[in-house]
Every structure is written in structure tokens, then in C-alpha cells.
Chains A and B, each alone.
Chain A
Amino acid sequence: GNSVTQMEGPVTLSEEAFLTINCTYTATGYPSLFWYVQYPGEGLQLLLKATKADDKGSNKGFEATYRKETTSFHLEKGSVQVSDSAVYFCALREMNYQLIWGAGTKLIIKP
């Protein structure tokens, strides 16, 4: 079946550091891929998405590229801020519209 695997956290970085959170997936078809973010005490928010191979999703300085050959959708940011501290979820969606989720990665940014 379909699944999403993302790196375990917590990931702790200093402000202005480069961020990578790895995400790989298994799917039978051609899914859409998403990154959602959950800030402390808030609900899930869509951060970025990509619907086909080689698409790059971007938002708020974050980027992720849909790599079909490596079945990956790694999240990157060039210079993180304390306000980026949150839990990040990678997810995929196939034809039946339900989202299949990774376990989530907690990101802690220290000033």
C-alpha cells in the first residue's frame, strides 16, 4: 500500500542554518505530494505542494521538489528562523483524495 516515510525528529538547528527534512514515499500511481505544518497550539496548515514529477513547491522560503526517480519530496529552507519551529508533515494523495501521512518531524530553532 501507499506510505510516507520522513526523518525522525526532533531536529534542532540554530537560527539562519540550512534545513533539510527528508521525505520518501511509496505509491502505486502518480500521487500529489504535500508538506503541512503544525505550529504550537494551532491546526494543520498546507505549506506547499507538487502535483507531478519535477514540480517544485515553494512557500515562505521553503521549497520541495517532486522527484519521481528517487520517490522523494525533501523539504528545504536556506535560512531558518525561530518562528519556523513547528511539526512538519509530509503527505501524499492519490485518486481517492485521502491524505496518507508521514509521522511528522518536530523542528526546533534556537536563537
Chain B
Amino acid sequence: GAGVSQSPSNKVTEKGKDVELRCDPISGHTALYWYRQSLGQGLEFLIYFQGNSAPDKSGLPSDRFSAERTGGSVSTLTIQRTQQEDSAVYLCASSESSYEQYFGPGTRLTVT
């Protein structure tokens, strides 16, 4: 079946602009995760959804970052007033409850 998909695959934006990154999880997966992969920081957890609620937002680096999930499916990660340090690959993963996580191909964000 279809895997986790993310869009766009690449995004170049100017500093100060807002961006939205989208994740379509595997159908039926109740849990959804956002991670960030950047040079010098490795892979960092951002936020976790169970259904539409986010019991763990501990990884969001600042209040410029927010995420939502609707209908227990698609999730959007929004970064407001982007900064150069936000440049990274943003990865989405989904899983059936506590089972293994399946990753999407990522969105490469470049802030100029």
C-alpha cells in the first residue's frame, strides 16, 4: 500500500515568511510524528499526535512552530517568520499506536 507522503519535497523561502509542510500518513495509522534532520543537530523530535491530539509537543523549538492534525489523518507543520536556522529536512512518520514508525521522504526547507 501507499507509504507516508510529504509535500512539498523541496521548499525555498525568504527569511521572515511563513511556510506550511504537509504530511499524509499511512491509512489507519493513529500515531503521527514530526522530526527535523539538520546538519550539526542530527535528528530531533518535534511533536507527536495520537489521533488529532498532541500529547507531546516538547520538541517544538519555539512558539513560531505549530502543528495540527485533522480527521486523524493529514498533518500540517507551520513555521512562522522563518529564520535561517530553520533550514533542515523535516520528516514525518506514522505508526499504529506504539508499533514501529514508518517515515516519509521528507521536505527539504531552505531559508534564504
Contacts and interface: CB of A to CB of B under 8 A. Distances in A.
What DSSP secondary structure best describes chain A's contact surface? Answer: strand
B42 A101 contact: yes
Interface stretch (A15-23, A39-47, A61-69, A78-86): A39-47
Interface stretch (B16-24, B73-81, B96-104): B96-104
Nearest to B103: A44
A99 interface: yes
A43 B103 contact: yes
Contacts of A98: 33, 45, 48, 56, 59
Contacts of B42: 101-104
A46 B43 contact: no
B105 interface: yes
Nearest to A96: B56
Contacts of B25: none
Contacts, number: 45
B101 A99 contact: yes
A37 to B, nearest CB: 11
Interface residues of B, number: 22
B67 interface: no
B100 A101 contact: no
A42 B45 contact: no
B103 A45 contact: yes
A72 to B, nearest CB: 19
Interface residues of A, number: 19
Interface in B18-43: 31, 33, 35, 42-43
Contacts of A45: 103
Contact of A43 (B48, B98, B105): B105
B45 A100 contact: yes
Contacts of B102: 46
Interface of B: 31, 33, 35, 42-45, 48, 55-56, 59, 91, 93, 95, 98, 100-106
7 contacts: A43-B106, A91-B43, A96-B55, A97-B56, A97-B95, A98-B48, A103-B42
